[in-house]
Every structure is written in structure tokens, then in C-alpha cells.
Structure 1
Amino acid sequence: MRQKQTLIRLSALLLAATTVLAACGNNNNSANNTSEGTAAPDAAAAGNTPEVKKVSFTIGYASGDPATKQAIADTVKAFMEANPNITVKDLSETSSSAYLDWLKTKDAVGEFPDLVEMRDTQVFADAGKIVELPSDLLELFKDPPQVDGKVWNAPMQVNVPQGIIYSKKAYADAGITELPKTYDEFLQIQEKLKTSGITPLVVGGKDIFHMGFWINKFLIDDVYSKDPDWNSKRTAKTVSFTDPNVVQAMTDYKELFTKYVDKGWLSTADNQTASFLVSGKAAQLYSGTWMFSQIKEADPSFDFGFYAIPDREGKVNVVGLASPAGWSLSAEAAKDADKTAAIEQFIRFFFQKDNYSKYLASINGIPSTKEEITYETSEQMQVALDLITDPNVTKSLAINNWWGDNLIPPQFRNWYYKLMQELVAKDGDVTDYMKQADNEYDNQVKANQM
């Protein structure tokens, strides 16, 4: 049963848990937002209408998730139709490289986007590649995360929890009548699914970002939920990847992948996982709320549920804190007043109520605006909202989403995810692989300090 939810009123608890609820400006075309040319004196005297100056800028964003890519592309198209004097050139990432690597490549060849979806904010802020969010946009946002005391992003949405998306039919066929209350009960469910003849889990391991879903589930359970400052301690060498809590997390990860994940996971792309689920090739997918619309599009009649996996103690820990991410203006584009004005106009258009509600509905997102945003939400999305507002659920971040003293070396995340792929593929010893992680982490820290 679907019900309309007023997402922005998720209580003061949501504000405290996410710290980022941004504001939405109105979609006006005032002189502050539109770049106009200056008519010649004789033309003005003749009563001719001043000619509107043509402006163009480039936009870059991650395209690993098809629903988000389409939602942004639709907003860009609508913006250009509403503002024919502004051309937005789409430079969205289309390679199989990690998004950070793609942005660095674009920068190296002189094609760094004018407006960019920024995820590694501190990396690019420290490099002088982006500027602070324009001051006239700051009033739109409520307590956004700061890096070095500055706001660099217009947050596109609040971080959403990840969890198990499961086929209700597969669960019923396997005799599963209750959702797990502990991680051990979750493993028992995997055994029942396997015994029933269906592959328990599909993983889109071909896309390196997808690996982070499971890896961070275990790191959050055993590390970050208990010590949010673990990264800074690792940089200071007071903790280690070979410590028992990290070894336990990666042992659980390896066991799960070895026993219950589809054998072709290394060659399966993220955008193939929905079809695995709806076709019955696998019973479950661990991912975020953005997958709900993709699953419905693949098969509108497919009946599925969503829940967060508890840890061994029965506690629930999910991604849910705010992080400095969102639309950022490049330092080069900021030198051009007309281009800057056009980009500010796009940002206001993006967060305008009608446009923003469509974007959020497409990805099942949680709004970052002060203005009340409503859209039709599903049973599955309500579970996600409940997780965010539940005071008993610990909110955390993925290994690479921390900042300040907890910022990890920018290249370490992808290296570590690939190492964890190898751990499973080669049936490696977890402790030995964690020693490799320690060595690589220290080497990257040292290299970044030179």
C-alpha cells in the first residue's frame, strides 16, 4: 500500500542524525539569476528588447546508478527548455573507472566540469579545484557539513540507509516467515534460500563502487559504529587493519561471498542486479533505496521487501550521517561571472519544489531542503525512513565518506575494495591481506604528505 509522506518533517531526530537538511530556493528568473547582455544606446532608445546573452557550462556527475543518471539528465533537459539562453553540456562519467579517477582524468586533460557532483570534497578543495558554495545560496541550507570551516556543496539529498532488497516469493518458497533479528539469523536465512535451490545473493562486483555496499556494512558493524574516529587513529598508527575487529569484519565478508553470493559476481555489473532479482536468478540484493524504482521498472508486478541487517548483537547500524557532498562549482568556472550566474540559476532550478520532488521520486531519495517536499513513497521506502528516524539505529558513514582528520588517502578506497575482491577470488588469509592493507595505507599517507 502506497502512502504520501511529507519527507522533510522527519522530526528533530532526523535533523540531528543527518545534520544536512538543505533549503530550496524559488525558481525565479530575476536579474540576480539571469545573465543578460547590454543593449546599444540607440537600440534602447528605439524601444528594442535587450538581447539575452548566451551562456554555456559543463556538468559532470557519476552515472553508475541508472536511475540517478536519468533523473539528473531529465532535470538538465527541463532546465534548458525553461532557459533557452543557457546551454548545459553533459559530461557525465561513462567509463568503467571509479568516479574519483574519472574526475582526475578530466582535470588532467583540461575538461574538469564547471558544475560537478562532488563526493571527494576535501581532496578537490585542498587541490584548489572547487570553490565555496556561492554566498547567496548558503541561506538555502541548514547546517550543511563544512570542510575547513567552509561549505563547498549544495547537497543533492540526504544519505540513505542500505539494506537487503529481497524477493517475497523466494522467502516464502524457502519457508522464511520472519525477518532476522541477529546476523546469525540472517545467515540461517541464507542457508534456507540455498537449500531451496535459489542463489541467495547477487552482487554487482564488476563496478568497484558496488563492492563498498557489503564491505562497509561489515566495517560499520564492527568498527565505525563503535569508533567513528577509527580512520584518524589508523592514520596515526594507533589502530591496525590486523586488529581483531577489522579481521572479524572482513572474515564475515569473505564467508558470505564464498558461501552465498552468485558465482559470477566479479563479472556482474551494478545495472544488471535488478534483472537478477526480478527474474528469480537470485533472491536478494544488498543496496540502497535508489534501486526500488529500477526494480519496479524491470517488473512492476515484482513483490519485494527491504530491511537492514542486524549485527551479531541484534543492533542495527546503517549509513545515515551527513557528509560533504553535492553540487560544487569549479574554481575555473567561478572566474566567469556569467557562467557562475547560470550555474547558480541551475542549482536553484534543481532544488525548486516541483523539479526536486521528481528527482527524489526517481531515486527514492530523502530531501535536503527546508521547503516541504512530498512524493508518493512505497512500503520499502517507509522502512528506510523509519531507520533514519529510529533513535536505536546507529548512523554512520562508509570508509571514504569521512573528512577532516578522518579522511583516508583518496586512492585507498578503490585499492582496498579490489584487495577484498582478490581476498575472495583467491581464498586468501584475512590476516595476511589486512597486513597488506596496513602497508598500503601507510605508503599512501606518506606519499600524500610529500
Structure 2
Amino acid sequence: MRRALVLCAALLLAACSVQDGSGSQDSSGGAEITFLTFETPNLTPAYWDAAIKRVTDANPGMRVKKLVAPSTDRTSYAKQLLQSGQFPDVMIAVDPAGFAESGNLYAWKPEELGAFQFPGANPIGGGHHQLPANTQTIPPVYYNKTMFADAGVTAPPRTWAELLDAAGKLKAKGHQPFVIGGGKEGFPSSMLLTGIVSTDVYGKRPDWMTQRRAGNVKFSDPDFVAAVGKFAELSTRGYLDKGTLSRDYAATEQAFLDGKGAMYPMGNWFAANADTKKHDFEIGVFNFPTADGKLVVPAYTGGGISVNAKSKNLDAAKKLALGFQLDKGQLDASVKADGLIPAIKGYQPPADTGPVYRAGYQLYQEAVASNAVVNAFAWETADDGVLPGFKDKIYRAAQDVINGKSPAEVCAFLDAEWSKAG
């Protein structure tokens, strides 16, 4: 398996050579490539340095200048760099919407995507501007098995009614039902909303966001308002602590690991820390419950590297991108460090992955086999994603619901902001 992946990467890379141009070159003719990364509790500086070194070791003469986004909002930072004339040669996990349409991102050719499991993911105007390297389920629900047992919850909830029942029992026992946050990143406040909209709305109409972009549906339509109403119900019942909305992402994760709540809705990347960071209870994971228990699993495939179409070292930038995304060592490292599910043909996770990752991985494989995967609301990109800059409005809407605004008010706000963004 490893040899097959390495050979596939080698064949793809062999087609590329460093262009002559005005970009920075070292004495051996190798290009210096600027690479925009980001750091999280999982993806540390050491992780990025080791991954970059594996690619440069395989490509003598290539030099990489690592740039680090100052927050998890890589897309906004990339916009700042573009506006200041410092757009990087390659960038990872940056939403391509807006950049691609303006001609700033390279459109990958079909033959360059042959190693990827879902090469057609996230098209923009018929082109593919971000390597579809990883799948993330967003959000499964991680839970504290000790608290569940103490509250008499004997099985992970499969339906919405079972989730409400479990939350009620946990609260009655003095356990905070859900761990949420917000802070500068925003998204920890919206994970439950993502789960509800994805299962309730997208589960019935998978192309809902595409239809929203076409103006055929609205946030204020009854099905979407009803989904927001279920989110509001969690707050009105006291299952969400609005006092934690200022807590940032790292502190929110740590709060769950410290036993400050029973359930933690978060992307599957949390599995890496669930398996490695210190905690004194066993962690389980279940799919986000649906109204009737039908299997619907929100996920996103993409998040990979995009390449600056106007890079002075375009061929070298493409070589770095493919080398990074297809390297077996890098794939294994992404699994262990960030709980990702590599969307690479023939890939299998390392045998020593932890139990939480393995459980989540199995849930996803079952969903794929059952054709039960839908887009994750607010995480999709490209032609079927939200408009550029709109995710922050969704995070604000989620926090407004938690703070007591009505679903109708919040949905009207989203429609108004969508009109402005469009």
C-alpha cells in the first residue's frame, strides 16, 4: 500500500519541473515557495516543519518559507496577503471561493487529481482549485462515558428525542450537557447548528445550499427556521451555557477534556487529541442524531492545498502541493495529529491509531457504504458553499440564538446578510 502511494506521488511529481522566472532561486536552481499554514492545538509548528521537510528532502534544491495565519481564519488572512501583494505560492485549508473566480488560483487538471478518491469535489465554475485531500465529519458528538453512566444514559442517542432525553438526564444529575465555546474563532458556537441543519435540511434536500445560491430557497423558509428552532430549544432548556461563548477553541476543547461537560460536538479532528491528551474518563463518539434515527452524516472533503495561479514558480508550487498531500508519512501524520480521514485512493490509517479515531473512522465508512453522507452546513466550499465572508454571519447567528433571539429573527438576519454578500 505504501509503495503504491509513493509511486503514485512520484509519477505525478515527475511531470513537474521548476519554471524559469523572476521568483527567488537558490544556487542550485531550486525555487523558494511561500506556504501559508495555520496552527491549532493539534497542528503544531513541529507538525508543519516535519511535513515540509519530508517534501524538501525528496526535492533537493526546493526551499519553503512557511507563513502562519494569525488565527484559524486562514481565508481572511489570505485576502489580506492578496490585497498587499503578498499572496502565497501555496496555501492550505483556505476557502477557494472568491480567489478562484478572480483568477488567483490554479485549476488542477484531471490527470493531476488521479490519486484522489473524490477528484470532483468542490468545483468552482467547473474547475477544481483545491486538492480534495481530506475528509472531515462535522460534527460527530464526542461524549463522556462516565457522565453518561452516572445519568443513566445507556446508549448513544440516535434520534433527536433521545438526545433531548439524554441531555435532560445529564442536567438533572448536575452535568453540563454540552460543551460549547465561541471566542475569536466563532465556529465552536455553531457546531450544533451545523449538525441540525445538515441532518434535517440537507438530509432531505442535499443541494439546499446550491439552491440558496440560485435564489430558490431562503433561510427564512419553514424547514430552515424549524432547524434553527431545534437549536434554540437546546438553549431554552438550559443545555447550553451562554456564559462560555467567549471561550476560544483551545479552551473549549480543554474544557471537555477536563470533564466540564458531557457532550462535545466537534469535527473529527478532535479524535486525535481525544486519543492522546490527558483525561480521566473514557470518550465515546456517535453520529449526530436525526429526527427519526435515519443515518445522515455531515462531512466535507477538501481542505487541501491551493496554488497561486500567478506564482512566479508555478511548477515548483504544484510539486510542493502534490508532494505534501500524497506523501504517506504526511498522511499518517495528519491522521495522528489532526484525526483526518485522507481521501486518497488505497490509503489505510496506521494500525496504531487510537480507539476514538478508529470509532469515528468506522462511523464514516458505514455512512459512505450506505450513501448517507451530506455536506456539512457552513463548511462546504466552492459552487455549493456559502458566499465568501458569510461564515462569520452564521457564527454570529448561532450565538444570537444561544443568547435568546428567536429563530425567525435570526433567519431574517441571515437572509439580509446574504443579500449584502451577494
- Per-residue Cα deviation, 1:390-420 (whole angstroms, up to 9, x for no partner): 3557311133444665443212221132122
Partner of 1:152: 129
Partner of 2:247: 268
Partner of 2:225: 247
- Per-residue Cα deviation, 1:138-190 (whole angstroms, up to 9, x for no partner): 33335512433323222231233521111111112222222223111111111
Q: Which moved more, 1:22-31 or 1:255-264?
A: 22-31
Distance in 2 between the 1:112 and 1:398 partners?
A: 28
Matched, 1:297 2:272: no
Contact 2:125 2:383 in 1 (8 A): no
- From 88, 96, 100, the equivalent of 1:125 is 100
Partner of 1:195: 172
For 2:305, what is the secondary structure of its paired residue? Answer: strand
Partner of 1:309: 288
How many Å apart are 1:321 and its aligned residue? 5.4
- From 160, 172, 179, the equivalent of 1:183 is 160
Distance in 1 between the 2:106 and 2:347 partners?
A: 29
Distance in 1 between the 2:7 and 2:151 partners?
A: 46
Show structure 1 runs of 5+ residues with no match. Answer: 1-5, 8-21, 38-49, 446-450
Distance in 2 between the 1:424 and 1:212 partners?
A: 10
How many Å apart are 1:330 and its aligned residue? 0.2
Higher gyration radius (CA)? 1
For 1:162, what is the secondary structure of its paired residue? Answer: coil
Distance 1:155 1:73, change over 3 A: farther
Distance in 2 between the 1:99 and 1:36 partners?
A: 28
Percent of residue pairs identical: 25
Distance in 1 between the 2:349 and 2:313 partners?
A: 36
Distance in 2 between the 1:371 and 1:327 partners?
A: 20
Distance 1:416 1:346, change over 3 A: closer
Calculate the TM-score normalised by the size of structure 2. 0.85
For 2:85, what is the secondary structure of its paired residue? Answer: coil
Residues paired across the two proteins, number: 407
Matched, 1:332 2:307: no
How many Å apart are 1:341 and its aligned residue? 2.2
Calculate the TM-score normalised by the size of structure 1. 0.80
Structure 1 residues 326-405: aligned runs within 5 Å: 326-333=304-311, 335-336=312-313, 340-341=315-316, 343-345=318-320, 347-375=322-350, 376-390=352-366, 391-392=369-370, 394-402=372-380
Distance in 2 between the 1:34 and 1:211 partners?
A: 45
Matched, 1:25 2:2: no
Partner of 2:192: 214
Distance 1:87 1:214, change over 3 A: same
Distance in 2 between the 1:69 and 1:153 partners?
A: 22
Contact 1:200 1:283 in 2 (8 A): yes
For 1:200, what is the secondary structure of its paired residue? Answer: coil
Distance in 2 between the 1:93 and 1:68 partners?
A: 12
Distance 1:357 1:296, change over 3 A: closer
Show structure 2 runs of 5+ residues with no match. Answer: 21-25
Matched, 1:414 2:359: no
Contact 1:274 1:298 in 2 (8 A): no
Contact 1:23 1:142 in 2 (8 A): no
